[in-house]
Amino acid sequence: MKIGVFDSGLGGLLLLRAMVKKLPAYDYVYLGDTKRVPYGNRSQDTIYEFLEEAVEYLFKQNCQLIIVACNTASAQALRKIQKNYLPKHYPDRRVLGVIIPTAEAAVASGAKNTGVLATAGTVNSGAFVRELKKLDKKIQVWQEAAPLLVPLVEQGELKWAEPIVKGYLKPLLKHKIDSLILGCTHYPRLKSMIRKLVGKGVKVISQDEVVPAKLADYLKRHPEIEKKLSKGRGRKLLVTDITPEAEKLARNWFRKGAVLRRVYI
């Protein structure tokens, strides 16, 4: 059985690439909902509907474990999938998100006054604040919604990004943050720019640097899941819509020979 990775668009390919580098033996199936990206401005009910459809599709692709790379879906719909959907339909399979491991990494880094840059949906959910406070009641958390960044990254228009990123970072930096969580799988494309803008005094926590190690640890702690996973080094990239730009991004973000296949979920 395979490891599934789901994202609202192609940003999760950056996370998949890091996972494959850390854990190359496993078979992976990536599903990007490129037809309906972005999710950040959707209602909670709609996000849940989209996530349930994606999870069902990946389970039918013989996935034992699914990583919900989309922070918005992790924040708005994952808990309901885990508590209601899985026990009823797939009690022996698992769906994991990216918010809790990211919060754990932030607290482990010594963060005391942290900023969160994320989509409006993730910010409005309060998920990062909630998870960080569970780990450290005294931590100060400041959030900023950045709705323009996912479209810029998906369209490959990074030349326009710096002044926009500066605008989003300004209110966070006013709070003299000591760390910054990049709360979206698209943001690793901007992390070099962001690290330059925030300076060496702010630790930038990027999910492509956090999640692979957390997954490796999870599999070590859950041998009953790990032993079911096949190790054929397969990589299947599925999307709900294909454009020339999407194909270019897949080659740039994952690997040169990446081939996207359109599916209907």
Handedness of CA 12, 101, 208, 183 (dihedral sign): positive
Cα distance between residue 97 and residue 67, in whole Å:
6
Note whether 210 and 223 are within 8 A (CB).
Answer: no
Q: 54, 70, 177, 239: which is the annotated catalytic residue?
A: 70
- Does 70 qualify as catalytic in the annotation? yes
Cα distance between residue 79 and residue 114, in whole Å:
24
Note whether 101 and 37 are within 8 A (CB).
Answer: no
- Does 63 qualify as catalytic in the annotation? no
Q: What is the pLDDT of residue 53?
A: 98
Q: 14, 19, 184, 202: which is the annotated catalytic residue?
A: 184
Q: Which residues of the chain have pLDDT under 50?
A: none
Q: What is the pLDDT of residue 40?
A: 82
Percent of the chain having pLDDT more than 70?
Answer: 100
Q: Kindly report, residue by residue over 82-135, the tens digit of the pLDDT.
A: 999 999 999 999 999 999 999 999 999 999 999 999 999 899 999 999 999 999
- Structural domains of the chain ordered from first start: 2-98+209-262 (3.40.50.1860), 99-208 (3.40.50.1860)
Asked whether the bond before 38 is cis by omega within 30 degrees of 0, the reply is yes
